[in-house]
């Protein structure tokens, strides 16, 4: 039974046709809307690679059913900025060369951007705690911390 669901993604209203309204949001973003920022990592909400903003809050799109999204505003990594006009957090990751394979980096940037939006001048332990549930396997953590600190200093 195909149903049409309206979503507000990166400032635009879009419609996706789905067989299952309980399909996680991630699959709609990647396969129906062609977005690449949010990534499938675990499908269990454990790693953070799929993180998007929903009404400004960082959420795990791999365990968020489409049916629960409603008219909430979704922003993905693409909605944050572009290579030509990057968001300050994206620019900070470039400046600190805070990437190895980069598969987790979407989650790091989205989580950190949502965190900084509500926390001014965070301490090092606060940043570490904010990213505690985002996994990186390459061991890029120290650069990611430096990038978040750099972005924090500019906001």
Partner 1 sequence: MRDVATTRRQFLKGTAALVVSFSIDKHQTAGAQAGASPKSISTEQVDGFIGINTKGEVTVFAGKVDLGTGVRTALAQIAAEELDVPFAAVTVIQGDTALTPDQGTTSGSFSIQNGGLQIRQAAATARQALLSMAAKKLNVEPSDLAVSDGTITSNATRRSISYGTLIGGKNFSLKVDKAAAVKDPGHFKIVGRSIPRVDIPGKVTGQFIYMQDFRLPGMLHGRVVRPSGMGATLQSIEEDSVNDIPGLIRVVHIGNFVGVVAETEWGAVQASRRLKVNWSPWEGLPDQSALWEYVRATKILKEDVTSDVGAATAALPRGATRLRATYDFAIQTHGSIGPSCSVAEFKDGALTCWSASQATHALRKQLAAMLSMPEEQVRCIYIDGSGCYGRNGHEDAAGDAALLSRAVGRPVRVQWMREDEHGWDPKGPPTLIDLDAALDAKGNLVAWTSAFFLPVGAATPVALVPATLANLPREMDIGPGGILNDTAIPYTVPNIRTVAHRLETTPLRPAWIRAPGRMQNTFANESFLDELATAAGADPLEFRLRHLKDARGAEVLERLAAVAMWERAGAKPRDHGARIATGRGLAFVKYELVRTYVGVVADVEIDRSTGEIRVKRFFVVQDCGQIINPDGVKNQIEGNIVQTVSRTLMEQVTFNRSRVTSLDWGSYRIIGFPEVPDVVIDLIDRPREKPWGSGEPSASVVPAAISNAIFAATGVRLRSVPFTPDKVKAAMARS
* CB of 44 or CB of 120, closer to partner 1: 44
* CB of 17 or CB of 153, closer to partner 1: 17
C-alpha–C-alpha distance, residues 64 and 115, integer Å = 20
* CB of 72 or CB of 87, closer to partner 1: 87
* CB of 141 or CB of 150, closer to partner 1: 141
Strands 51-54 and 57-60: antiparallel
Q: What Rg, from alpha-carbon coordinates, does the chain have?
A: 15
Tell me the closest approach of the beta carbon of residue 2 to partner 1, in angstroms. Answer: 7
Tell me the closest approach of the beta carbon of residue 144 to partner 1, in angstroms. Answer: 8
Comparing CA positions, the residue from 133, 127, 96 lying closest to residue 113 is 127
Tell me the closest approach of the beta carbon of residue 70 to partner 1, in angstroms. Answer: 19
DSSP three-state, residue 16: strand
Q: Which residues bind partner 1 (CB under 8 A)?
A: 1-2, 18-20, 23-24, 27, 30-37, 39-44, 46-47, 49, 76-78, 80-83, 86, 90, 93-94, 97, 99-106, 109, 125, 127-129, 131-145
Tell me the closest approach of the beta carbon of residue 16 to partner 1, in angstroms. Answer: 9
Query: Which residues, 6 or more positions from 20, have their beta carbon under 8 angstroms from its beta carbon?
Result: none
In this structure, the chain runs to a length of 155
C-alpha–C-alpha distance, residues 109 and 144, integer Å = 9
CA angle 14, 103, 12 (to 5 degrees): 15
Tell me the closest approach of the beta carbon of residue 128 to partner 1, in angstroms. Answer: 4
* CB of 31 or CB of 121, closer to partner 1: 31
């Amino acid at each position: 039974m195909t149903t049409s669901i309206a979503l507000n993604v990166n400032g635009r209203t879009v419609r996706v046709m789905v067989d299952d309204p309980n399909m996680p949001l991630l699959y709609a973003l990647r396969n129906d809307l062609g977005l690449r920022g949010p990534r499938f990592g675990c499908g269990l909400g454990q790693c953070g690679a799929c993180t998007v903003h929903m009404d400004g809050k960082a959420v795990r799109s791999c365990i968020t059913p489409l049916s629960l999204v409603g008219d909430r505003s979704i922003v993905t990594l693409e909605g944050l900025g572009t290579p030509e006009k990057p968001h300050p957090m994206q620019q900070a990751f470039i400046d600190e060369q805070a990437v190895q394979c980069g598969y987790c980096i979407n989650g790091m940037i989205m989580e950190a951007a949502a965190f900084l939006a509500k926390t001014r001048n965070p301490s090092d332990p606060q940043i570490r705690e904010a990213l505690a549930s985002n996994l990186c396997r390459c061991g890029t953590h120290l650069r990611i911390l430096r990038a978040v600190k750099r972005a924090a200093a500019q906001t």
